[in-house]
């Protein structure tokens, strides 16, 4: 365990890993603060029975690149609690976790929301620490920006889809969508508004496919009424779970789980454009394979950065009596993410590698400049090949 932690450290971080537990509640959790050269740690907290230190460290690194990629001044961090979010003792477990991190929160890290947690949980975090700046994503009634309810992340994913699709001649074409949760359903709604045809979706209860295009407004209503079991209302459209990204479509959007596209199934993806709505959905080997096949890929920390843009608004508003205007948030998300998508595609063409390599190099350069300005030496000059000319 200790060796694994040490082996995971490189020239970027993590700067701090805090593992905590509580014997009364059985709580086990971890906070990983990856890199704060551009600002204090900011990232979501997830609650799942399978949470691991390695998983949270990977996600914290994604946040480092995501903040830098969208060019906002916060650092990468992530937290996780190894527990069932459906537990009747969820509140007690969450409060115990937050208490154990009172030295770090909110001075070094501010909580956000991830899998297993809701806006009400963000309110509990602030209540436990007696500080309305400890967490963002709080309910609207408490002055927060409910970006999950507003669907801002999914909205941003759809904006990126459209920006990339227009560039490569796929505007208004067929979209295979994995997931119909907080990100997926909002992406579907925006894609429908932009006149794209969503031909497949999935939930934890199953998957649906219609080559002629699914009835997105109906699906949105069914989701509101039935949640994940919406798929049971359309048995004639059911397909094998896991195949929703492999159907005949021009654009694929994994917007649910990580590690779902691997070398075992990347060759079966028929889409010419893949936009990563989820975090870490595509393995490095699969990224290379897709690149060789000529599939245009927009990396996760570019495509799903709408959440961090809205979180940045929420960070500024934590101690304010006024909440930001929702229209301003959506406008900023659209402008920033469309610009970032163009920059990544341009840099990919210039460098000749995968889009993940190009996007990561752009983010790394921004972090590296901040580290050097703070007097932190560059310890691995080979980590950023051929970047000096672009500075």
What average pLDDT does range 199-218 have in this prediction?
Answer: 98
- Cα–Cα distance measured from residue 323 to residue 95, given in angstroms and rounded to the nearest whole number: 26
> What are the beta bridge partners of residue 47?
81
Q: What is the pLDDT of residues 270-292, one digit of tens each?
A: 999 999 999 889 999 999 999 99
* pLDDT at res. 8: 78
Contacts of 306 (CB under 8 A, 6+ apart): 147, 152, 153, 154, 155, 156, 157, 159, 333, 337
CB 251 within 8 A of CB 271: yes
Q: Does the predicted model carry a pTM greater than 0.75?
A: yes
* pLDDT at res. 323: 86
* pLDDT at res. 2: 52
Which residue in the list 42, 78, 90, 336 is annotated as catalytic? 78
Report the mean per-residue pLDDT for the chain. Answer: 93
Quickly list H helices, 25-88: 53-69
* pLDDT at res. 381: 47
Nearest one of 114, 125, 181 to 151, comparing CA atoms: 181
195 pLDDT tier (thresholds 50, 70, 90): very high
- Cα–Cα distance measured from residue 259 to residue 246, given in angstroms and rounded to the nearest whole number: 15
149 catalytic, yes or no?
Answer: no
Q: What is the pLDDT of residues 125-162, one digit of tens each?
A: 999 999 999 999 899 899 888 777 889 999 999 999 99
Q: What is the pLDDT of residues 54-96, one digit of tens each?
A: 999 999 998 999 899 999 999 999 999 999 999 999 999 999 9
DSSP reduced 3-state for 27: strand
16 pLDDT tier (thresholds 50, 70, 90): very high
Look at the block and give the residue holding tokens 């051929």: 386
CB atoms within 10 A of CB 321: 6
- Cα–Cα distance measured from residue 137 to residue 147, given in angstroms and rounded to the nearest whole number: 7
Q: What is the pLDDT of residues 358-367, one digit of tens each?
A: 999 999 999 9
């Amino acid at each position: 365990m200790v060796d694994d932690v040490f082996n995971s450290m490189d020239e970027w971080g993590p700067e701090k890993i805090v593992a905590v537990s509580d014997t009364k509640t059985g709580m086990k959790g971890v906070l990983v603060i990856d890199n704060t050269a551009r600002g204090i740690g900011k990232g979501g907290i997830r609650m799942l029975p399978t949470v691991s230190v390695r998983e949270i460290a990977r996600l914290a690194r994604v946040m480092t690149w995501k903040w830098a990629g969208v060019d906002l001044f916060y650092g990468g961090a992530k937290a996780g609690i190894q527990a069932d979010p459906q537990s009747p003792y969820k509140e007690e477990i969450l409060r115990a976790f937050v208490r154990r991190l009172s030295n770090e929160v909110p001075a070094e890290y501010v909580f956000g929301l991830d899998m297993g947690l809701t806006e009400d949980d963000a309110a509990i975090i602030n209540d436990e620490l007696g500080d309305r700046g400890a967490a963002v994503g709080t309910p609207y009634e408490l002055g927060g920006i409910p970006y999950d309810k507003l669907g801002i992340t999914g909205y941003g994913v759809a904006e990126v889809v459209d920006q990339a699709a227009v560039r490569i001649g796929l505007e208004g074409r067929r979209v295979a969508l994995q997931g119909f949760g907080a990100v997926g359903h909002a992406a579907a709604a925006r894609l429908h508004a932009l006149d794209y045809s969503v031909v497949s979706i999935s939930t934890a209860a199953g998957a649906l496919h219609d080559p002629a295009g699914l009835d997105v407004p109906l699906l949105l209503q069914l989701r509101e009424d039935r949640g994940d079991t919406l798929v049971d209302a359309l048995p004639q459209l059911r397909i094998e779970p896991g195949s929703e990204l492999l159907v005949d479509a021009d654009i694929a959007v994994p917007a649910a789980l990580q590690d779902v596209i691997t070398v075992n199934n990347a060759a079966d993806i028929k889409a010419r454009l893949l936009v990563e709505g989820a975090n870490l959905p595509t393995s490095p080997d699969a990224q290379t394979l897709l690149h060789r096949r000529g599939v245009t890929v927009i990396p996760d920390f570019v495509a799903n950065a709408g959440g961090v843009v809205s979180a940045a608004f929420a960070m500024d508003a934590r101690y304010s009596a006024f909440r930001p205007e929702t229209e301003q948030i959506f406008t900023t998300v659209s402008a920033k993410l469309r610009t970032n998508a163009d920059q990544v595609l341009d840099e990919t063409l210039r460098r000749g590698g995968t889009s993940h390599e190009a996007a990561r190099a752009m983010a790394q350069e921004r972090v590296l400049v901040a580290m050097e300005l703070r007097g932190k030496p560059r310890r691995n000059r080979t980590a950023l090949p051929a970047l000096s000319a672009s500075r």
